[in-house]
Chains A and B, each alone.
Chain A
Amino acid sequence: MIFAGLRRAGVLGINRRNACYTLRWNPRRFYPLVDDKLATKRLCQQAGIPVPALLAVARHHFQIRNLLPALADRASFVLKPVHGAMGNGIIVIAGRERDRLVRVGGRTLRPEAFNYHAAGIISGLYSLGGQPDIAMVEERLETHPLFAELATQGVPDVRVIVYRGVPVMAMMRLPTKASDGRANLHQGALGVGVDLLTGRTRAAIWRGRPATRNPDSGRLVLDVAVPTFERILEIAVRAADRTHLGYVGADVVIDATRGPVILELNARPGLAIQLANRAGLRPRLDTVDATWQPDRPLEERVALGRDLARRHPPRAA
């Protein structure tokens, strides 16, 4: 069979992810909890899981003009659609320059352009299915020094796939110039696989090809220890537990002062994480299914996740 190679590598394909994992383990009625970023935020806050602070919300067009005045005392913030997907429609403001806003990457933005973008968000331009949406502004997290060193721009995060309460794979996502500061691999961000066992980066992928360095800075990104990795896994699993979803991608950002915070959760996490880790997801998912027991404590599940990485190691790069 032409697919023998993929099967041997344990690659999870998109059909199987949809049919056997997202459709099977993520009941539709719980999607709003992760698709609606305000709901996710509320959910995490109730459980004491750190999230970025919410600064302002515009539900209707007439509320847009109140956004910037409410942000007057802030130099940096992030405008995003509450129901956005794949990082679309997000604008990161890094500072101000006279009456203009400065975006990540240095481009400036007039206040009207900012409001226009918010109007586009409310009209549903970036939401799933074009539904009317809500524009929200949240605090811009201060990138951890190590991440700031690895990625020259944007907000790098750590994506953790949590399956039935067990972390099964993790990757660091470093925004690049090509991705316009966004952390999505298909938009050109650098994906760096993190070994669950050691918490160190092992391999990287950029635009579908193996990489070892950040394409912008040339900085080597392999064999770096991810700071507070234990805590990252812990809050990812705790957040996933709250969602009632069995197959979740948790995006965790390490803030320089607050430590790991949950940026958002995803009910249909992408599959490129397998490339970044040089490992297929299927053996790990199968092991979780085979060894699953109800009501296991969090520490035990995180430990199981690390054990998965030992039992199903990535292939040699």
Chain B
Amino acid sequence: MNKAAAVTGALLLAAGLAVFGAKAFIYQVPLSPADVRGLWQVGLRITARGEGRHGSISTLLPSSVPGQTIFDERSTSGPLQFSIRVTDGARLGVWSGRFDGIHEVRYEFRVQSFGRRATLPERVVDKPPDEVTRAYGRSSPVYPMSAPQVEALCDELRLPSPPDVVGRVRTIFAFVTHEVASVRSAGDDAVLVLERREGSREGKERLLVTLLRAAGVPARNVRGLQLIEDAQPMERVWTEAWIGDGWVPMSAGSGFFGEQPASYIVLGTGDRPLVSGTEVRALAHRYHSAREHLRPEEIAAAMAPDNPALANLSLYTLPLSTQTSLRLLLVFPVGAFIVAILRNVVGVETFGTFLPVLIAFALRNFDIVTGLALVGTVLGVGVVGRLALERLRLLLVPRLAILLCLVIFTVTGFALVARTTEMRELLAGVLFPIVILTMLIERYSIALAEEGWRPATVRLGWSIAAVVVEYPVFRSVAVGHLMFSFPELVLCIMGLLVWIGGYTGYRLSDLLRFRLLARPEDATP
């Protein structure tokens, strides 16, 4: 290695390690992700269009209630004014101002959700507190508990006697769960749902509340999100009934009773919509969420180490969607580093320099066998298609474009198969690096024709081996966390890459290739 390369590498490595060391050991930014379940970050993005008039957008904001702790709330508002109002026990975030053109606002928070299990008393003697009965025991247009159909049903269900509140609630819950069909397109009016014996999720929960209130049990709807790993959160509505001395969660639509799963977080109670607006048009919103790997106090350390310069550089303060992208992006230097080792130190020949990295990245949501089988299918279809195209004698670019179409057809096929076989993970196939796979097919086909199937397939095998080596890197929560919390490690990787680039020693593959010359028996002094 020449001196300049050695020094440059060392400087980069030292710079990266210095920042890393300071953060890790002086400011105590945690090195490894904690195995803390129920930690998420959630973001909401609302867009709306206005025509120059004063208007507002409001959304339900979560609060720390039993079962969940909310922290690190952030909002962006552009030219609008953001304020938080508390009305009727609901916490509302309101953006108001003059709406002209398209506006986008964001609201993000982190939450630790523990889930909640309510104790169900055998018998209830105490009456619910007056304020609970007043607020959640009345008839209203949404919960028409005095409607004749509702009263008739309550008679028909032959509810247990009033002290057995749990029995009454169970009977009603069982009725709504089993006797009312869930139909996505059905209505949400409680009485209509009751009459037709079918309703939307929303309609069934409203009916549940209406029936509970009619049976003398204060009840309310809860709005929130069901958080799902690697997918968009689902907006959910469920029900709480006052039993004994507290609210008991249940859902006829999601099928839980007495225990609210930790994947559900509460945004608000009542029948207020999650997002609403006045004097705005084309109001749209979207929640997104990602698992968080740090404890609240650790995030505080990562976000704002006691050093303002480091705090400004912390990626934890970025908008959630950017954080999610950066988490993925920052793993790529590690992948590229491994490629450099494989090629320049081990001496592995692969198709395309970064192809294994991109394929491993695309496969991170699959188990490796399924993933490779899918890539293999794409490759197989492509190579057969390429052989067929060979006869047509097409020019290069149109031929490549046709291969690209074939690859996309195959991936589309995966999506259709996924729908019919319920193998939902096949859907992630659409994330395949289409262009890269197309080039792989072309190069493999040319290698097949020029070098014969053996060398071509050996090289393909090494490419797959490289994918298998890279795969755990992209799966690893620890690597993702480390690179995201300490992006300065990219400097270290650059330093190591400079050293690898300056490595003039033998590759491991040279041992095999030149073994004829290195035979010890005819070694001469």
Interface, chain A (partner B; CB < 8 A): 2-3, 5-9, 11, 13-16, 19-20, 61, 88, 112-113, 116, 119-120, 123-125, 186-188, 205, 208-210, 271, 274-275, 278-280, 315-316
Q: Quick check: A6 and B518 within 8 Å, CB to CB?
A: yes
Q: Quick check: B504 and A19 within 8 Å, CB to CB?
A: yes
Determine the distance from Cα of A13 to Cα of B344 in the docked complex, in whole angstroms: 11
Residue B158 interfacial (CB < 8 Å): no
Flag B488-520 by CB within 8 Å of A: 1 or 0 each: 000000000000001111110011011011111
Number of interface residues of B (CB under 8 A): 29
Q: Quick check: B396 and A275 within 8 Å, CB to CB?
A: no
CB distance from B440 to the nearest CB of A (A): 14
What are 23 sample pairs from A and B whose C-beta atoms fall under 8 A apart?
Answer: A2-B511, A3-B510, A5-B517, A5-B520, A6-B514, A8-B518, A9-B517, A14-B347, A14-B507, A15-B504, A15-B506, A15-B507, A19-B503, A112-B393, A116-B393, A119-B395, A186-B451, A187-B451, A188-B452, A208-B513, A275-B514, A278-B517, A316-B522
Q: Quick check: B510 and A6 within 8 Å, CB to CB?
A: yes
* Complex contacts, B36 vs chain A, CB 8 Å: none
Given A14-B510, A88-B450, A187-B451, CB of A9 within 8 Å of CB of B393: no
- Name which residue of chain B comes closest to A132, CB basis: B396
CB distance from A239 to the nearest CB of B (A): 27
Q: Quick check: B523 and A8 within 8 Å, CB to CB?
A: yes
Q: Quick check: B396 and A11 within 8 Å, CB to CB?
A: no
CB distance from A84 to the nearest CB of B (A): 11
Residue B140 interfacial (CB < 8 Å): no
Determine the distance from Cα of A14 to Cα of B346 in the docked complex, in whole angstroms: 11
Determine the distance from Cα of A8 to Cα of B519 in the docked complex, in whole angstroms: 10
Residue B132 interfacial (CB < 8 Å): no
* Complex contacts, B520 vs chain A, CB 8 Å: 5
Interface, chain B (partner A; CB < 8 A): 344, 347, 393, 395-397, 446, 450-452, 455, 502-507, 510-511, 513-514, 516-520, 522-524
Q: Quick check: B396 and A274 within 8 Å, CB to CB?
A: no
Determine the distance from Cα of A292 to Cα of B314 in the docked complex, in whole angstroms: 56
Determine the distance from Cα of A280 to Cα of B455 in the docked complex, in whole angstroms: 25
Q: Quick check: A5 and B505 within 8 Å, CB to CB?
A: no
Q: A9-B514, A119-B395 are in contact. List 18 more A-B contacts (CB 8 A).
A: A3-B505, A3-B506, A3-B511, A6-B506, A6-B518, A9-B523, A11-B506, A15-B344, A15-B503, A15-B504, A16-B505, A16-B506, A112-B393, A123-B396, A125-B396, A187-B450, A208-B516, A275-B517
Most chain B Cβ neighbours within 10 Å, of A5, A208, A209, A274: A5
Q: Quick check: A315 and B524 within 8 Å, CB to CB?
A: yes
Q: Quick check: B446 and A125 within 8 Å, CB to CB?
A: yes
CB distance from A85 to the nearest CB of B (A): 11
Most chain A Cβ neighbours within 10 Å, of B393, B503, B516, B519: B516
Residue from the list A20, A61, A205 in contact with B516, Cβ < 8 A: A205
Determine the distance from Cα of A275 to Cα of B524 in the docked complex, in whole angstroms: 17
Q: Quick check: B518 and A5 within 8 Å, CB to CB?
A: yes
Given A2-B511, A6-B510, A125-B446, CB of A15 within 8 Å of CB of B505: yes
Q: Quick check: A11 and B510 within 8 Å, CB to CB?
A: yes
Q: Quick check: B504 and A315 within 8 Å, CB to CB?
A: no
Residue from the list A20, A187, A209 in contact with B504, Cβ < 8 A: A20
Residue from the list A3, A113, A124 in contact with B393, Cβ < 8 A: A113
* Complex contacts, A186 vs chain B, CB 8 Å: 451, 455
Determine the distance from Cα of A11 to Cα of B523 in the docked complex, in whole angstroms: 13
Question: Lowest 4 A-B CB distances belong to which pairs?
Answer: A5-B518, A123-B396, A13-B506, A116-B393
- Name which residue of chain B comes closest to A15, CB basis: B504
* Complex contacts, B393 vs chain A, CB 8 Å: 112-113, 116
Determine the distance from Cα of A95 to Cα of B393 in the docked complex, in whole angstroms: 23
Q: Quick check: A315 and B507 within 8 Å, CB to CB?
A: no
Determine the distance from Cα of A15 to Cα of B395 in the docked complex, in whole angstroms: 36
* Complex contacts, B395 vs chain A, CB 8 Å: 61, 119-120, 123
Determine the distance from Cα of A2 to Cα of B510 in the docked complex, in whole angstroms: 11
Determine the distance from Cα of A165 to Cα of B523 in the docked complex, in whole angstroms: 30
Q: Quick check: B510 and A13 within 8 Å, CB to CB?
A: yes
Determine the distance from Cα of A133 to Cα of B451 in the docked complex, in whole angstroms: 21
CB distance from A311 to the nearest CB of B (A): 14
Determine the distance from Cα of A9 to Cα of B446 in the docked complex, in whole angstroms: 36
* Complex contacts, A5 vs chain B, CB 8 Å: 517-520, 523
Q: Quick check: A11 and B507 within 8 Å, CB to CB?
A: no
Determine the distance from Cα of A7 to Cα of B505 in the docked complex, in whole angstroms: 9
Determine the distance from Cα of A47 to Cα of B50 in the docked complex, in whole angstroms: 77
CB distance from A79 to the nearest CB of B (A): 15
Determine the distance from Cα of A45 to Cα of B397 in the docked complex, in whole angstroms: 35
CB distance from A127 to the nearest CB of B (A): 11
Residue from the list B452, B516, B523 in contact with A275, Cβ < 8 A: B516
Given A5-B520, A8-B518, A15-B344, CB of A123 within 8 Å of CB of B507: no
* Complex contacts, A61 vs chain B, CB 8 Å: 395
* Complex contacts, A125 vs chain B, CB 8 Å: 396, 446
Determine the distance from Cα of A159 to Cα of B452 in the docked complex, in whole angstroms: 24
